[in-house]
Structure 1
Amino acid sequence: MRALWLGQAGFLLTSPAGRTAEEGEQHLLIDPYLSDSLARKYKGTIFPHVRMRPAPVAVNELPPLRAVLCSHAHTDHMDPDTLAPLMAAQPHLRLACPRAVLDEALRRSAASPSRLDPLADGESVAYGPFTVTAVPSAHEERVVDEHGDDRYLGYVVDAGGTRVYHSGDCAPWDGLAERLSGLDIDVALLPVNGRDARRLANGVPGNFDFAEAVELCALSGIETLVPHHWGMFDFNTADPAAFDLDFAGRHGVTVRVPEHGAALDLARQR
């Protein structure tokens, strides 16, 4: 499996081609933010959400997709200016989201309910070669609706002999490492922009810092970390030059720092 980093938490996952011409490469999209909707929304505010770099691909340049996964309803993960034109351009495309934010996903995607797959903790769905399983996340805190369904999810994606965990926005929560340790995950795609009181007080809850992401991988038996959620907005980023690769190495974790708009080979190494 390959992962193309689209910036922030966005990734395009590609499974290898099958043995026949009909089994060509297949694609799955996670948390795409390919517009400037947040810059328009927050213009003139304390956090203006101006991009530090342009989107590496336009919606109409994306390949045919099996599905798009949204981890939660924050706009940089569930962007109406990305989802609505994408769902319109690819009429067979499906969208998975937390069941707790289904109404928001319907509104932002402008798609019919029959095309959405609402998920909750432990539930799975298959999209061609991809099997997707939902795991709760805590965007500083776990939040559930009146039915007990999580508003923030991560996804374990299994395809081509490789198992990848994308946490969405997430900070450490009790039981997460134990949950992941039994899933035989090869690669974790984790946000490392950290968190602090100033951002939280202004409506921006945070995520793991780099050391916490490494420690989660070590505790969960995940050998490879891909740190993301940096380099998009200047108020909510991390400096990749400060990633302590020696610290990761001492914990038995290999760090693959992604490049914006570039692909990483995520194939299982063991």
Structure 2
Amino acid sequence: MNETNRNKSRSGEVLIQEVNNTEVPYGCLSVWFLGQESVIIKGGGVTVYVDPFVSEFEGRSYPAPIRPEHITGADLCLITHEHIDHMDPATLSVMVRNNPSMQMVAPAWCREQLLEEAGVKEDKLADAETAVWRSPREGIRIQAIPAAHEQLEQNSQGFHRYVGYLMELNGVILYHAGDTVIYKGLLEKVRQHNVDLAMLPINGRDYFRTSRDIIGNMDYREAAEFAYAAGFETVIPLHYDLFAGNAENPGYFADYLYRHFPEQKFHIMARAERFVYVSPRAFLG
């Protein structure tokens, strides 16, 4: 192992040690940003990975802050859809092997690939059902929310191809939107849950990317407007940094919020940062 790889390995091990050792009071969550829409969320003793994509992959703008083999202590893995930067068999197969008790939830569209390519066991995999709260393990409830990337798609059984997730964890309601545009009814679906912390894509879409088969999402203006209209207490932008041909400047998101909704709280995460979200219910005794 050369010195560069040795340093990367050491950094990844340190980050995971930080994740495993972090505990926060009720009403708080710890969040780590791994790039694109990959995040680690921890609260109440439960560690959740959403769309982990940390394998080596040609075209990344920067290397992942951890490698798949670093991941230990994962309790739950949530997958939003089957695109490789969200459902990466090279990452998931190692996670499954090294975290044998980990539960996974993913759209039914992903089931066959997860079983065959990632080695997920049937009893550890649940389909992402929308409109109902589920407890895939003690200490957390989740509800899948339909996502439109760029269209709403359902199979013959009514399962959605793309989803986001609401999660109730350690007294906090978090919404990870996955890849989505804003479609009719999404605002109403989300607003009723009084979300504390939301994570939204901001990379947008346009004719030229669509012509290259790059499917888009809401842009930074739409994400800012959506965050304010939905009443999110705090919002974090995602999906803007990993591929040069499908990127956005998160500063535009911050600037738009500052100019139009200065009372809207937001946080732009540095790579591999630990952000501790403190809800209005924290420290109330």
**Equivalent AA in structure 2 for residue 89 of structure 1:** N
Give the match for residue 14 of structure 1: 42
- The CA deviation at 1:59 is 1.9
Q: Deviations over 1:240-261 (max 9, x none)?
A: 2323435356334212001111
Please say if residues 214 and 248 of structure 1, whose CA atoms lie closer than 8 Å, have aligned partners that are also in contact: no
- The CA deviation at 1:219 is 1.6
SS across alignment from 2:245: coil
2:248 is aligned, of 217, 238, 258, to 238
1:137 & 1:249 partners in 2: Cα distance?
A: 28
Does residue 185 of structure 1 match 2:195?
Answer: yes
Please say if residues 167 and 173 of structure 2, whose CA atoms lie closer than 8 Å, have aligned partners that are also in contact: yes
- Are residues 150 and 190 of structure 1, via their aligned partners in 2, closer, same or farther at CA, if it must alter by over 3 Å? same
- The CA deviation at 1:239 is 1.2
1:199 & 1:107 partners in 2: Cα distance?
A: 31
- The CA deviation at 1:26 is 2.4
Please say if residues 27 and 63 of structure 1, whose CA atoms lie closer than 8 Å, have aligned partners that are also in contact: no
1:125 & 1:203 partners in 2: Cα distance?
A: 34
Could you list the runs of 5+ residues in structure 1 that have no partner in the other structure? Answer: 17-24, 40-49
Does residue 70 of structure 1 match 2:98?
Answer: no
Q: Deviations over 1:48-92 (max 9, x none)?
A: xx1111111122222311110000000100000000111011111
- Are residues 248 and 120 of structure 1, via their aligned partners in 2, closer, same or farther at CA, if it must alter by over 3 Å? farther
More helix by share: 2
Give the match for residue 117 of structure 1: 126
2:200 & 2:149 partners in 1: Cα distance?
A: 12
Give the match for residue 42 of structure 1: none
Does residue 99 of structure 1 match 2:99?
Answer: no
Give the match for residue 14 of structure 2: none
**Equivalent AA in structure 2 for residue 31 of structure 1:** D
**Equivalent AA in structure 2 for residue 36 of structure 1:** E
Does residue 218 of structure 1 match 2:246?
Answer: no
**Equivalent AA in structure 1 for residue 133 of structure 2:** S
- The CA deviation at 1:131 is 1.2
Please say if residues 28 and 68 of structure 1, whose CA atoms lie closer than 8 Å, have aligned partners that are also in contact: yes
Could you list the runs of 5+ residues in structure 2 that have no partner in the other structure? Answer: 1-28
If the length of structure 2 is used for normalisation, what is the TM-score? 0.84
Give the match for residue 199 of structure 1: 209
SS across alignment from 1:266: strand
1:52 & 1:82 partners in 2: Cα distance?
A: 18
SS across alignment from 2:244: coil
Give the match for residue 70 of structure 2: 61
Alignment of 1:119-268 (within 5 A): 119-126=128-135, 127-245=137-255, 247-248=257-258, 250-251=260-261, 252-268=263-279
- Are residues 124 and 102 of structure 1, via their aligned partners in 2, closer, same or farther at CA, if it must alter by over 3 Å? farther
Please say if residues 79 and 108 of structure 1, whose CA atoms lie closer than 8 Å, have aligned partners that are also in contact: no
Percentage identity across paired residues of the two chains: 27
Give the match for residue 269 of structure 1: 280
Please say if residues 139 and 170 of structure 2, whose CA atoms lie closer than 8 Å, have aligned partners that are also in contact: yes
Give the match for residue 8 of structure 2: none
- The CA deviation at 1:104 is 2.5
1:113 & 1:197 partners in 2: Cα distance?
A: 40
Please say if residues 224 and 253 of structure 2, whose CA atoms lie closer than 8 Å, have aligned partners that are also in contact: no
